[in-house]
């Protein structure tokens, strides 16, 4: 089986790299903005920025909702296992 590389597929990969770089730049700006709103005491706005940053990081790293849910379940189970009972 041979793989045919077309200029369209090369362009698509290059575009993907450009898009990923742009998203990383957006993430950096949002992190700066989060610091500003946190310093101003706007905790809800900071939380919203955290959510946006997380979503962009998921997209950049190609992490699915199912993978995130699995990680969350695992971390929650570990936390509950290690938590002392009263």
**pLDDT tens sequence across 2-55:** 555 555 555 556 558 889 899 999 999 999 999 999 999 999 999 999 999 999
Q: Which domain holds residue 38?
A: 7-82
pLDDT of residue 77: 92
Which residues are CB-contacts of 23 (< 8 A; sequence separation ≥ 6)?
56, 59, 60
Which residues are CB-contacts of 50 (< 8 A; sequence separation ≥ 6)?
34
For the chain, how many structural domains are there in total? 1
In-domain check, residue 17: yes
In-domain check, residue 1: no
| pLDDT tens-place string over residues 53-67 | 999 999 888 899 999
In-domain check, residue 51: yes
In-domain check, residue 11: yes
Q: Summarize the confidence of residues 68-85 as an average pLDDT.
A: 87
Neighbouring CB atoms inside 10 A of 3's CB total: 5
In-domain check, residue 40: yes
pTM: 0.69
In-domain check, residue 2: no
pLDDT of residue 33: 98
């Amino acid at each position: 089986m041979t793989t045919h590389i077309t200029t369209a597929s090369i362009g698509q990969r290059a575009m993907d790299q450009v898009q990923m770089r742009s998203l990383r730049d957006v993430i950096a700006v949002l992190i700066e903005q989060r610091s500003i709103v946190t310093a101003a005491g706007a905790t809800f706005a900071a939380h919203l920025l955290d959510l946006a940053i997380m979503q962009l990081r998921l997209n950049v790293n190609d992490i699915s909702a199912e993978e995130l849910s699995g990680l969350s379940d695992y971390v929650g189970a570990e936390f509950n296992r290690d938590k002392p009972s009263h």
